[in-house]
Amino acid sequence: MDIKIDLPQHYIEVEGSLVQRRLRSLKHGDAFAVLDEYGDIGVIGTGPEGLYYNDMRFLSWYDLRFEGKRPLLLSSIIQDDNAALSVVLANPDVHSDGGIVFPRDIIAIERTKFIWQAVFYERIGFRNYADGERRFRVEIGFSADFHDLFEVRGTARERRMEMRFWPPPCNLAPRRAAFDLKLAAGERKSLFVSVACEDGNKPVSEPFGRAFRARRRALRHKAVETAKVESSNELLNEVCRRSTADLNMVMTRTRHGLYPYAGIPWYSTVFGRDGIITAMLLLWIDPSVAKGVLSYLAETQAKATDPFSEAEPGKILHETRNGEMARLKEVPFKHYYGTVDATPLFIMLAGMYFDRTGNLETIKGIWHHIKAALQWIDRYGDADGDGFVEYERKTSTGLINQGWKDSYDSIFHTNGDLAKGPIALCEVQSYVFAAKMHAATLAQRLGELALAAKLISAATALKKKFEAVFWREELGTYALALDGGKTPCRVRASNAGHALFAGIASPELAKRVADTLLKPDSFSGWGIRTVASGEARFNPISYHNGSVWPHDNALIALGFARYGLIPEAASVFTAMFEAAAFQDMRRLPELFCGFIRKPHRGPTAYPAACAPQAWASAAPFGCLAACLGMEIRHESNAISFRDPVMPAFLDAVTLNGLSLGRSRIKLKLQRHGNDVTLNLLKRQGDTKILLIK
C-alpha cells in the first residue's frame, strides 16, 4: 500500500545520486551550468543539470550527437583554474544494413565550454585521423524549460534566450540544429555555439576566443591578490589548488566587492552565514573577501519588521534569490532573514577583519550597521530577556530551524523528540559573546568608551550564565540547545566545538569538549560528525544528524587551536586531508556521510551535496591555519605561529604572499621530528615574524 508522506519544507528531491554521475560545474557572476561528463545537459534522467541565470534554468536539455549516436567519452576535465570544461570524445561505430560503415575512433571530438557575462560558450572541434575523407552529420539538441530553481528542487514562468551557431546549421528545427561536415584526412574543423541568458540584462555574445581570453584574464587578476600555499605533499597541493580555483569560481563581484556565493547547484547566491564563515576561514589568505561580505550585508540589513521575510530592524540577511518564484513571493527568499546566527557572526567578522587589517575606515562605514545588529541581538534576539538569543519562525513558509543546522529535525532532545521554540542554540550564544567582545574593541577605537564597557560587562555575564546553564557534566560537553521551556537538549553535537571557536569556553571545559568530540562516537575517522552516534536521531546519511561537514570541522579545529590544543587540531586536519584525497578532483564537498572509517575505502558521499561549496572549499585553509597556530594582527604588526604542529602527512609548507598592511611575506615552516622551525624567505616591509613556543 502506498503511503503519502508529508515532506519537510523546502525539501530537495533526489531521484539519482549527483556523486554517481560526476557532474561538472561552471560559473561566472550570476550564471552557472551543471553538466554531465560529456558536457551535455539532461540526457539521463532528471536532476539539477542545466544552464541557470538569476535562479532560472534557461537550458534544461543540451545534447551532442554524431550520426544520431552519443560519442564515446575519453576524458572530462575541469581546468585547474575552473575557467572551462574540456571534454575529449571519439566517434562511435556507425552501422547500416547490418554492417559498420563508419568505424569508431577515427574522428576526435574536443569540446571546450565556459561561461562569461551571462553567456554560455562552446567550441566543438573535430579532427579526422582516417587516411581519407570522411563525411558525417553532427546534431545539437536543445530545450529550455525556464523553471525557477525552486521548481527544479521540487517546489510557465516569460524568459528569453538567444542561441547562436557558427557556421550556420544546415537544418534548424525548434529543438535541434544539424551540421553536415566533410573532413579531409588530418583536417580540423570547429563548431561554435553561444547561449545568452536574458533576464533584465543585455548579454552580448562575443567571438569564442575573445570571450575566453577575457575569462582567463579575470581569473588571473583575482589569483594575484591571494596568498599561496605550497607544501612537501603534492596531494595537499592539489587540494589547495582545487580549493583556490573553486573559491575563485564561486566569488561574485558585486558593487560592494567580492562575495562568495554559497554553492552549486542549489545555493549559487548570497547567503549571509555562508559568506561570513567563508570570509572568516579566508581572512589570513585574502581579507578583501571579508570586506566585500561586510559591505554587502550591511547594505541589505533589515530596516523594518516583515513577518513574511522574517525581517526585523538590524537583522542580517540569510539568503537572497532572484528567481520568479521569489519575486512573486511564492517563496520568501527574495530577501529572507530567517537566520538567528548571521547577525552576531556579522559583528564577529567585522571585529576579526579589523584585527587582521586595522582598516578603521571600513569599520566606520558600517559602524551604525554594527550597532543596529547589537540592538537586534538584545531586543529581538532575546525577546524574553533571559540573556540568551532564541529563534522561532514567524511564518509557515520560513525555516523551522534557523541555525546553521536548519533541517526540520536537527534540534532534538535525548529521547528524539523535536525541540519546540523559541530555541536557544549553543553556538549562537557563543557567537553573541564573541560579537560583543569584538564590538567592544571597535567601540574603544571609535571613542565610544561607555558602550565598550557596557558590551564587555554584557559579554562577561553571558559567559558566566552560558557555562552554568549549557554545560552538561554527564555528556562532557555543552547541550545542543535550550527549548522554549528552557529545558536543555542533552545531545552530543558538533555545535559545542563552535563555543571554542568563539572563545566563550573556559580552558578546562574546552579541553573536555575537545576530548568528547574526538571520541569514536563523534569522530568518524573522516572528521567530526554533526551528531554523535548513539544519539536518538543519529543517521550517518542525514543532512545534519550524523554527517560530516568540512567547514564545521575547520571552525572546530580553529577552536582547538585557540585553546592551545594544536595536536587535536592536527587530527581534524589529517581527517579532512585524507577525505579530500578520495574526492573527485580533490574537491571537498558540502558534506559527506558520517559512517565509521573502514580500511581500504574512502568516505561515503552524500547524494545531494553541493560541489563546489564555498565554505567547504575554504575549510583546508582554516585547518592549516589552526595547525600552524597562526595569528595575524595589525595592532602588533606581527604574523605569529604559536606552538605549530605539522600533521604526519606534512614535512614542510611555504606560504607566499602573506600580507599585513603594506608588508608582503614569504616564509617556510619545516618539521624536524616533533619540532617545527620557521625560515623567513622574503620580506617587503617591517612586519615581525614570530615563532612562539
Domain boundaries defined on the chain: 18-218, 341-505
pLDDT interval class at 145 (50, 70, 90): confident
240, 620 contact by CB (below 8 A): yes
Average pLDDT over residues 487-507: 98
Q: Which CATH architecture has domain 341-505?
A: Alpha/alpha barrel (1.50)
Give the three cell numbers for residue 388.
540568551
Average pLDDT over residues 352-369: 98
Which of 337, 328, 344 lies closest to 307 in space, CA to CA? 337
Task: Specify the pLDDT at position 398.
Answer: 86
Average pLDDT over residues 653-662: 96
Q: What is the pLDDT of residues 391-403, one digit of tens each?
A: 999 888 889 999 9
Task: Specify the pLDDT at position 624.
Answer: 98
The reported pTM is 0.91
Task: Specify the pLDDT at position 22.
Answer: 78
Task: Specify the pLDDT at position 3.
Answer: 46
Distance (Å, rounded) from C-alpha 78 to C-alpha 62? 18
480, 513 contact by CB (below 8 A): no
Helical pair 426-445 and 495-502, crossing angle rounded to 10 deg: 20
Q: CB neighbours of 173 closer than 8 A, spacing ≥ 6?
A: none
Whether the predicted pLDDT of 327 surpasses 80: no
86, 111 contact by CB (below 8 A): yes
The torsion angles phi and psi of 442, rounded to 5 degrees, stand at -65, -40
Task: Specify the pLDDT at position 156.
Answer: 45
Whether the predicted pLDDT of 323 surpasses 70: no
Task: Specify the pLDDT at position 55.
Answer: 83
Task: Specify the pLDDT at position 200.
Answer: 77
Q: CB neighbours of 40 closer than 8 A, spacing ≥ 6?
A: 62, 63, 64
Other Cβ atoms within 10 Å of 551 Cβ, number = 24
Whether the predicted pLDDT of 455 surpasses 70: yes
Whether the predicted pLDDT of 223 surpasses 70: no
Q: What is the mean pLDDT of the chain?
A: 92
Task: Specify the pLDDT at position 80.
Answer: 84
Domain 18-218: which topology? Beta-galactosidase; Chain A, domain 5 (2.70.98)
Task: Specify the pLDDT at position 507.
Answer: 97
Distance (Å, rounded) from C-alpha 500 to C-alpha 569? 12
Task: Specify the pLDDT at position 5.
Answer: 45
Task: Specify the pLDDT at position 150.
Answer: 56
pLDDT interval class at 500 (50, 70, 90): very high
- At 506, the amino acid letter reads S
More confident residue, 3 or 658: 658
Q: What is the pLDDT of residues 544-577, one digit of tens each?
A: 999 999 999 999 999 999 999 999 999 999 999 9
Q: Write the DSSP string, 566-633.
A: HHHHHHHHHHHHHHHTTSGGG---S-B--PPP-TT--PPBPTT--SSBHHHHHHHHHHHHHHTTEEEE
Q: What is the pLDDT of residues 5-47, one digit of tens each?
A: 444 555 555 444 444 567 899 999 999 999 999 999 999 876 7
Tell me how far apart the terminal alpha carbons of the chain are, to the nearest angstrom.
67
Task: Specify the pLDDT at position 48.
Answer: 85
Task: Specify the range with the lowest mean pLDDT, choosing from 146-150, 414-418, 496-500, 620-624.
Answer: 146-150
pLDDT interval class at 334 (50, 70, 90): confident
Residue 567, preceding peptide bond in cis (omega within 30° of 0): no
Distance (Å, rounded) from C-alpha 142 to C-alpha 71? 17
Average pLDDT over residues 120-137: 96
Whether the predicted pLDDT of 148 surpasses 90: no
35, 23 contact by CB (below 8 A): yes
Average pLDDT over residues 385-411: 94
